[in-house]
Chain A
Amino acid sequence: MVFSSLPFLYFFLPAALLLGLTAPRKARNAVLLLLSLLFYFFGEPRFVPLLLFTAAAAWGCGLWAQKRRGCLPLLVICVLSLGQLAYFKYADFLIGTVNGVFGAGLPLLRLALPIGISFYTFQAISYVADVSAGRVTAARNPIDFAAYLTFFPQLIAGPIVRYSDVQTALGDRHVTLSGFSGGALRFCVGLGKKMLLANVLAEATADFAAAQTQTVLYTWLYALCNALMIYFDFSGYSDMAIGLGRMFGFDFPENFRHPFASRSVAEFWRRWHITLGSWFRDYVYIPLGGSRCALWKQLRNLLVVWALTGLWHGASWTFVLWGLYFAALLILERLFLAKWLARAPRWVAHLYVTLAVLVSFVLFSASSPAEALSQLGGLIGLSGTPLWDTATLAALRQYGVVLLVSLLGAVPLVPLALQKLRALPHGDAVCAVLQPVAALVLLVVSTAYLAAGSFNPFLYFRF
């Protein structure tokens, strides 16, 4: 089940809010667990046992790690979690690579990927690692722990919530009026980002793929729409997850902070998919030595982390290349580019990040490195197509305003405007009126888009 669906919004969510918020305090986590399992069952009934197995294994390893500090519990959960990830997500990638290199002709497994496996396995690993390192105490109650790992707002597409983020709330949480209404507004904003922007930008990219001639201007339009689509899709989902968490009394970590306002790629990654970046930093980069080691080791660490980050996003060489592309940029920034960018005019730095990110997402979305190269060549006119044609102009007419709104939404314009508004006399009163109006309009219009049967798959659903 995805959040941007009518069955979730108008049947599951009201029931979940009713049951989750009115359940007796002692039974709250059990109710949340049942609701989360029902949510997962609705989309992937076959993989509910796998989810429960992962939760049980992480809980057991956590207790074990608490009793006997050492690497073994962490090793066990890594083998179990990464093993299932390798089997379900990467087996065909490995087989395909072996077949390609050695001509082995091994049959592909063609396994269905359990929804959210990349997220909940990482949460399981981080939990045992944190207990092993003494950063958190292990959960005694298996229901509380399972409620954390399977909690439906963050189950299938993050943010990657760590146990320490919600440990207190799992034990005792209070849902306040301002928390609930703030969560509702955040959920509606995320839903609006997904339905009104990301899905329409997805239509634009689909139109580009179907176009007879991919002109230079059309390729630029595609690159912009594609990058913004990925941003609004994923950040919209994160907003919905954070909003739902708040409605149930949990504070999830932020996952996006206007990454397109960055002035370096390093800053971009501090603002984009923050919980994934910090996961790799804390559990891979720093244990490898981080940046407190010889320069060649620092560079090696960056390459390892970014190859893994790419691979986390998808089992294909384009994702590995995508990760290594960012590694290359980050290495250049570490060597000299960051200093140069700091001295350069702001617009130069912004332009550099924008171009770097546009190129990266062309690679991210391509079905093969060859297709990515062809599209990148199209950006600079190497594909031999004209600058524009009637189909390009029609696409601009069709998506121009959505693109403009998306561009404005991708930078912190609205938060700044609201900040200024609040500083005015009666600004708080205006904001207090705007909040329910915005929530209502976004919810109803998004529902209208859903009812119209808009194309609606979540991009991060299968990660």
Chain B
Amino acid sequence: MKIKRIGSILTALLFCGVLLLFCAATAFLPKETISAAERRRLASFPSFSWDALWSGAYADGLSTYVNDHFALRDGLRAVNTAVRTTVFRQPTVGGVTELDGYLFSPQSALDERAIRQNAEKLQSLIDTYFPDQTVYFSVIPDKADFAPEALPRLDTDAVVSLLCASLGAEYIDMRSTLELADYYRTDTHWRQERLGDTAAALLEGMGLTLSDDLSAGTQNAVELFYGVLWGRYGLPLPGDTLVYCATPATESAVVKNLDHPDVKTVYDLQTTSPDPYDLFLSGASSVVEIESPLAQTNRHLVLFRDSFAGSLAPWLLTQYEKITMIDIRYIASAQIGAYAELSADDVLFLYSTSVLNTGGVLK
């Protein structure tokens, strides 16, 4: 009976202890404003109003605040991932799979409707702005395509086939130039210093030749780059080293960014973005113009793109005197004529499969 009583006392003490410990720690520990792991601003304490109280918005706000500022949140997220992967043997946590130190976030369901919708949007750009011009497109495969084990993944061939069938543009296949090591371990993006073959394939597709090896320039390292998948996975895996390459062409290039007018350089080293990858041409931007005084031609490239192109564009600076990069996720297609010069020698659509497979993102 005595041992039973001890068990009861321990249970009651531990239960109440855990409740009180987390309650006090959450209430009194200093609060962060930004979650680095999730790359988002954490909720602030909700402001009180009778309307908000009666509608339930105040209670919802309090719940979000407690969830966001819960004590040891990142540590608990790591426990969640550890239990799921080791006890329950779940290979994927939070949509992220770890294989040989690489994190993958494979999309498996092909959304044909979304791809056709995006193809129609791109075709409308061709019809509106480049009706008499050869337009090129290329597709950036997800790194799950190169995973060491077969993962449920988006069928890149199917994406390309759908685009080829519905888009009046010439396809440039550069997938064979890529391998797993060309991507960051903890991020979805590719590594700039390893894109030589990819840039060469794209230029060759447009009738040009890569003449300058960006990776032979100075390779600057940003230590402890924790990519977007790192935050989602939860376990404290080692970070990557983010590398950006500097050459005379990148140093002399002048950038005009519609959304970040103060930034004039290819690499935005002062960026305050929580995503270090945003140092490449300031990350998410609607219209970016790069003038390259060291270019060997006077050609102008209009590049419709997503975030992958930020690290690729510096490879093209010796072949184009001017590169206009347009991201129609952040500017409506109908408005781009007012903000960007569209009289181009070459036009390239360069999108990753994850963007192409998502409906409604291209405006």
Chain A contacts to B: CB under 8 angstroms: 1, 5-7, 9-11, 13-14, 17, 41-46, 177-178, 180-182, 184-185, 187-188, 196, 200, 210-212, 390-391, 394, 397-402, 405, 428-429, 431-433, 435-436, 439-440, 443-445, 447-449, 451-454
The yes or no answer to B92 lying at the interface (CB within 8 A) is yes
Which residues of chain B have C-beta atoms less than 8 A from A400's C-beta?
A: 89
Which of B53, B62, B151, B234 has a CB less than 8 Å from the CB of A394?
B151
Whether the Cβ atoms of B80 and A448 lie closer than 8 Å is yes
Which residues of chain B have C-beta atoms less than 8 A from A13's C-beta?
A: 19
Whether the Cβ atoms of A14 and B59 lie closer than 8 Å is no
Nearest to B69 among chain A residues (CB) is: A6
Whether the Cβ atoms of A445 and B79 lie closer than 8 Å is yes
Which of B59, B80, B110 has a CB less than 8 Å from the CB of A452?
B80
The interface centre, meaning the residue of B8, B11, B12 with most chain A CB atoms within 10 A of its CB, is B11
A390-B150, A439-B14 as given contacts; A397 in contact with B91, CB under 8 Å: yes
Whether the Cβ atoms of B63 and A431 lie closer than 8 Å is no
Nearest to B74 among chain A residues (CB) is: A451
The yes or no answer to B83 lying at the interface (CB within 8 A) is yes
Whether the Cβ atoms of A390 and B152 lie closer than 8 Å is yes
Which of A11, A181, A399, A432 has a CB less than 8 Å from the CB of B12?
A181
Whether the Cβ atoms of A10 and B22 lie closer than 8 Å is yes
Known contacts A181-B8, A433-B7, A439-B11; 10 additional CB pairs below 8 A are A5-B63, A6-B70, A7-B62, A10-B26, A45-B53, A46-B56, A184-B15, A402-B88, A436-B11, A448-B76
A178-B8, A402-B90, A436-B7 as given contacts; A10 in contact with B23, CB under 8 Å: yes
Main secondary structure of the interface of B (DSSP, over half): helix
In the assembled complex, the CB of B248 is this many whole angstroms from the nearest CB of chain A, namely: 47
The yes or no answer to B211 lying at the interface (CB within 8 A) is no
The yes or no answer to B73 lying at the interface (CB within 8 A) is yes
Nearest to A188 among chain B residues (CB) is: B15
**What is the CA–CA distance of A200 and B87 in the complex, to the nearest angstrom?**
13
In the assembled complex, the CB of B26 is this many whole angstroms from the nearest CB of chain A, namely: 6
Chain B 339-353: CB-based contact to A (< 8 A → 1; otherwise 0): 000000000000000
Mind listing 10 A-B residue pairs with CB under 8 Å? Answer: A5-B63, A45-B54, A181-B7, A428-B3, A432-B7, A436-B11, A440-B18, A447-B22, A448-B76, A453-B67
Chain B contacts to A: CB under 8 angstroms: 3-16, 18-20, 22-23, 26, 53-56, 59, 62-63, 66-67, 70, 72-73, 76-77, 79-81, 83-84, 87-92, 94, 108-110, 150-152, 234
Whether the Cβ atoms of A184 and B80 lie closer than 8 Å is no
In the assembled complex, the CB of B155 is this many whole angstroms from the nearest CB of chain A, namely: 9
**What is the CA–CA distance of A258 and B83 in the complex, to the nearest angstrom?**
26
A10-B19, A428-B4 as given contacts; A399 in contact with B90, CB under 8 Å: yes
**What is the CA–CA distance of A444 and B15 in the complex, to the nearest angstrom?**
10
Whether the Cβ atoms of B11 and A181 lie closer than 8 Å is yes
Whether the Cβ atoms of A180 and B79 lie closer than 8 Å is no
In the assembled complex, the CB of A175 is this many whole angstroms from the nearest CB of chain B, namely: 10
Whether the Cβ atoms of A9 and B7 lie closer than 8 Å is no
Which residues of chain B have C-beta atoms less than 8 A from A14's C-beta?
A: 16, 19-20, 23
A44-B56, A439-B14, A452-B94 as given contacts; A391 in contact with B152, CB under 8 Å: yes
Which residues of chain B have C-beta atoms less than 8 A from A453's C-beta?
A: 67
Which residues of chain B have C-beta atoms less than 8 A from A401's C-beta?
A: 87-90
A14-B19, A177-B12, A439-B15 as given contacts; A7 in contact with B81, CB under 8 Å: no
**What is the CA–CA distance of A177 and B23 in the complex, to the nearest angstrom?**
23
Which residues of chain A have C-beta atoms less than 8 A from B8's C-beta?
A: 177-178, 180-182, 432, 435
A181-B9, A432-B3 as given contacts; A444 in contact with B55, CB under 8 Å: no
Whether the Cβ atoms of A436 and B14 lie closer than 8 Å is yes
Whether the Cβ atoms of A444 and B54 lie closer than 8 Å is no
Whether the Cβ atoms of A435 and B7 lie closer than 8 Å is yes
Which residues of chain A have C-beta atoms less than 8 A from B151's C-beta?
A: 394
Whether the Cβ atoms of B7 and A405 lie closer than 8 Å is no
How many A-B pairs have beta carbons closer than 8 Å: the answer is 153
Whether the Cβ atoms of B4 and A212 lie closer than 8 Å is no
Whether the Cβ atoms of B59 and A449 lie closer than 8 Å is no
**What is the CA–CA distance of A445 and B82 in the complex, to the nearest angstrom?**
10
Whether the Cβ atoms of A445 and B3 lie closer than 8 Å is no
Which of B56, B73, B108 has a CB less than 8 Å from the CB of A43?
B56
Whether the Cβ atoms of A452 and B76 lie closer than 8 Å is yes
Which residues of chain A have C-beta atoms less than 8 A from B70's C-beta?
A: 6, 10, 451
Whether the Cβ atoms of A444 and B12 lie closer than 8 Å is no
In the assembled complex, the CB of A427 is this many whole angstroms from the nearest CB of chain B, namely: 11
Which of A429, A436, A444 has a CB less than 8 Å from the CB of B10?
A436
Which residues of chain B have C-beta atoms less than 8 A from A42's C-beta?
A: 59
Whether the Cβ atoms of A405 and B88 lie closer than 8 Å is yes
Sorted nearest first, the 6 A-B pairs with minimum C-beta distance are: A432-B7, A451-B76, A448-B79, A452-B80, A436-B10, A181-B11
In the assembled complex, the CB of B100 is this many whole angstroms from the nearest CB of chain A, namely: 16
Whether the Cβ atoms of A440 and B14 lie closer than 8 Å is yes
**What is the CA–CA distance of A437 and B109 in the complex, to the nearest angstrom?**
42
Which of A394, A398, A432, A445 has a CB less than 8 Å from the CB of B6?
A432
**What is the CA–CA distance of A6 and B76 in the complex, to the nearest angstrom?**
12
Nearest to B111 among chain A residues (CB) is: A212
Which residues of chain B have C-beta atoms less than 8 A from A432's C-beta?
A: 3-4, 6-8
Whether the Cβ atoms of B56 and A444 lie closer than 8 Å is no
**What is the CA–CA distance of A454 and B95 in the complex, to the nearest angstrom?**
12
**What is the CA–CA distance of A185 and B13 in the complex, to the nearest angstrom?**
12
Nearest to A389 among chain B residues (CB) is: B152
In the assembled complex, the CB of B63 is this many whole angstroms from the nearest CB of chain A, namely: 5
**What is the CA–CA distance of A371 and B220 in the complex, to the nearest angstrom?**
56
Which residues of chain B have C-beta atoms less than 8 A from A10's C-beta?
A: 19, 22-23, 26, 66, 70
**What is the CA–CA distance of A147 and B150 in the complex, to the nearest angstrom?**
57
Nearest to B94 among chain A residues (CB) is: A452
Whether the Cβ atoms of B79 and A444 lie closer than 8 Å is yes
Which residues of chain A have C-beta atoms less than 8 A from B91's C-beta?
A: 397-398
Which residues of chain A have C-beta atoms less than 8 A from B59's C-beta?
A: 1, 41-43, 45
Whether the Cβ atoms of B11 and A435 lie closer than 8 Å is yes
Which residues of chain B have C-beta atoms less than 8 A from A45's C-beta?
A: 53-56, 59
Which residues of chain B have C-beta atoms less than 8 A from A196's C-beta?
A: 83, 88
Nearest to B5 among chain A residues (CB) is: A177
Which residues of chain B have C-beta atoms less than 8 A from A180's C-beta?
A: 8, 12
A11-B66, A444-B18 as given contacts; A452 in contact with B7, CB under 8 Å: no
**What is the CA–CA distance of A397 and B7 in the complex, to the nearest angstrom?**
38
In the assembled complex, the CB of B55 is this many whole angstroms from the nearest CB of chain A, namely: 7
Whether the Cβ atoms of A452 and B63 lie closer than 8 Å is no
Whether the Cβ atoms of A6 and B67 lie closer than 8 Å is yes
Which residues of chain A have C-beta atoms less than 8 A from B53's C-beta?
A: 45
In the assembled complex, the CB of A461 is this many whole angstroms from the nearest CB of chain B, namely: 14
**What is the CA–CA distance of A451 and B67 in the complex, to the nearest angstrom?**
7
Whether the Cβ atoms of A398 and B76 lie closer than 8 Å is no
Which residues of chain A have C-beta atoms less than 8 A from B77's C-beta?
A: 448, 451-452
